[in-house]
Amino acid sequence: MAASSILNNLKKSAIASLWLAFLTLPIMVIRVDTVEKTVTWRWMHLAYMLAGSFVLALFWHFMMDRRDRGAAARAAGTSQAASALGRVLENPKLVKPLLAMGFLVAAVFPYVFSMYQTNILISALIYVVLGLGLNITVGLAGLLDLGYVAFYAVGAYAYALLNMHFQLGFWTVLPLAAIMGAFFGLLLGFPVLRLRGDYLAIVTLGFGQIVRLVLENWSSFSQGPSGISNIARPGLFGINYSVEQATTYIYYIMLALVILTIFITARLKDSRIGRSWLALREDEIACQAMGIDNTKAKLMAFALGATLASVMGAVFAAKTTFVNPASFTFMESAMILAIVVLGGMGSVLGVILGAFLLILLPEYMRAFSEYRMLIFGATMILVMVFRPQGLIRAKRKVYKINTEAA
C-alpha cells in the first residue's frame, strides 16, 4: 500500500472519530445526577471511544482499499490469488478425504454427543434443506421470495392436522406434504408470473402473512394461536421409541434428506432446467428470446422450492411435537434468505456453510445473547460490503468446444 494511501486513510479515520466524539459528547461525557444535583465529566469514556472508533475506521478503510484493489485486478485479468477455502474446494485430493471425514463424524454424532447437541444439529440440518430450497427460487432463478416460510407452515400443519384428525403417521404424510407444498408453490407462482423485483417481493411477503394469519385466526381449523400439540414422532413398523431414540431416528432421517437434497439440487443446477433458471436470473427478456419457456421455468422453481420447504415443515412438526403460527413469522423467511445470501446465491456448498453458521453459532454464543442480533446485523453488513458474492462463490460449469477440424 502506498504511503499516500496510508496517510489518506489515517486522515479519514481521524476525522470520522472526531466527528463521532463531537456528536456523542453529551451522552458519553456528561452525567447529571438529579438527586444530588451534581454534574460528572467522564473524559476517559470519550478517550476510549475516540481510540476505538479510530481503530475501527482505519480497519474499515484498509479493507475497502483491499477490496477495490482486488476488484481492479480481477477487471484487468491479473488476479491470480484465491482464498484458502477456494483452494481447498478446488483440490480433489483434499475434498474426498474431507467429505469422508465429515460423513463419518455425521454418522456417529448422536452416539458421541448429547441429545441436546443432536437436537441443535437437527435444527441446523432442517435449515440446510430450507436454504437449498430457497436457493432454487432466489439463487438460481432470481425470484425474490419473502414468504417462503408459508410453505414451511403448510408442511407442518399438514402433518399436524392429518395426524390429529386421521391418525396418519409420519411416513404416510411426508409425500402428501410434498404434494401440498408443490400445489401451494404453483398457487403462488401463477399470479406472479409477470412480476419481478420489488413487486414480486411484496406479493410473496403478503402471501406469507396471509397463510400465517389464516392459521392464527381460523381456530376451528388450525386451533388458532394455541397451536396443535401431541403430534406423533416418526415410527418404524409400529415400534415405539423413547424421546432419545426418536431424536436419534429423526437425526438420521434428516441426514438422509440432506444428502438427497444436495444430490437433487446439484444435478438440477447442471441440468437443462438449471441452465434455464440461470438464464432467467440474468436476463428474463433475453431468456425468452432464446426460446426458453419462462412460465415453465418460474413455476418449476416455485414448486420445487415449496416442496422442500413443506417436507421440512413435516419434519419440524414431528421433531417438536407441537406447532403454532408463532413459529412461522416473517423473521423465519428473513433468516432463510440470510442463509442463502451469506453462503452465496446459487452455491450449494455456500448455503450449507451459511446454515451452519447462522443456526449453530447463536446456540453456542448464548453468553452474548443480548448482542446476538447486533452481531448478526454487523456480520451481514460486512459480508455484503466486502464479499457480496457470499462466503463461497457459485461456480458455473464451463463447456470447452474443440474448434479444430477432425
User: According to the model, what pLDDT value does residue 315 have?
Assistant: 95
Residue 130 has what pLDDT?
95
pLDDT tens digits for 70-105?
666 655 554 444 455 555 555 556 666 777 788 888
* Amino acid at site 112: V
Residue 347: CB partners within 8 Å, gap ≥ 6?
135, 139, 390, 392, 393, 394, 395
**Looking at residues 107-119, what average pLDDT do you find?**
90
Is pLDDT above 60 for 324?
A: yes
The model's pLDDT over 201-235, given as tens digits with 9 standing for 90+, comes to: 899 999 999 999 999 999 888 888 999 999 998 88
% of the chain with per-residue pLDDT over 90: 31
198: Cβ contacts below 8 Å, ≥ 6 apart: none
pLDDT on residue 370: 73
Would you say residue 317 has pLDDT above 60?
Answer: yes
Mean per-residue pLDDT of the chain = 83
* Per-residue pLDDT at 93: 64
List pLDDT tens digits, range 351-372.
Answer: 998 899 888 888 877 776 677 7
- What local confidence, expressed as pLDDT, does residue 74 receive? 59
Q: Are the beta carbons of 159 and 312 closer than 8 angstroms?
A: no
CA–CA gap between residue 150 and residue 172 (Å, rounded): 22
Say yes or no to pLDDT of 290 above 70: yes
pLDDT at 308: 95
**Which pLDDT score, from 0 to 100, does residue 269 have?**
83
Average pLDDT over residues 173-189: 93
Ranges 148-162, 306-320, 334-348: which has the least confidence: 334-348
Residue at grid coordinates 427478456: 285
Question: What is this structure's pTM?
Answer: 0.81
Would you say 318 and 170 are in contact if contact means Cβ atoms under 8 Å apart? Answer: yes
Q: Name 229's bridge partners.
A: 322
Residues 36-60, mean pLDDT to the nearest whole number: 81
Separation CA 26–CA 32 (nearest Å): 10
- Give residue 161's pLDDT: 94
The per-residue pLDDT for 228 is: 93
Higher-confidence position of 194 and 138: 138
Using DSSP's 3-state secondary structure scheme, residue 299 falls into helix
Angle formed by the axes of helices 330-343 and 149-166, nearest 10°: 130
pLDDT at residue number 388 = 75
Given a cut of 90, whether residue 198 has pLDDT beyond it is no
Q: Which are the contacts of 10, defined by CB distance < 8 A and separation ≥ 6?
A: 58
Q: Is 294's pLDDT higher than 90? A: no
pLDDT digits (tens, 9 = 90+) for 225-277: 999 999 998 887 777 778 888 899 999 999 999 999 999 998 888 888 888 88
Q: What percent of the chain has pLDDT over 70?
A: 88
pLDDT digits (tens, 9 = 90+) for 15-39: 888 888 888 887 777 887 778 778 8
Task: For residue 39, give the DSSP letter.
Answer: E
Q: What is the pLDDT of residue 79?
A: 46
Local confidence band at 1 (pLDDT 50, 70, 90 cut-offs): low
Residue 376 has pLDDT above 80, yes or no: no
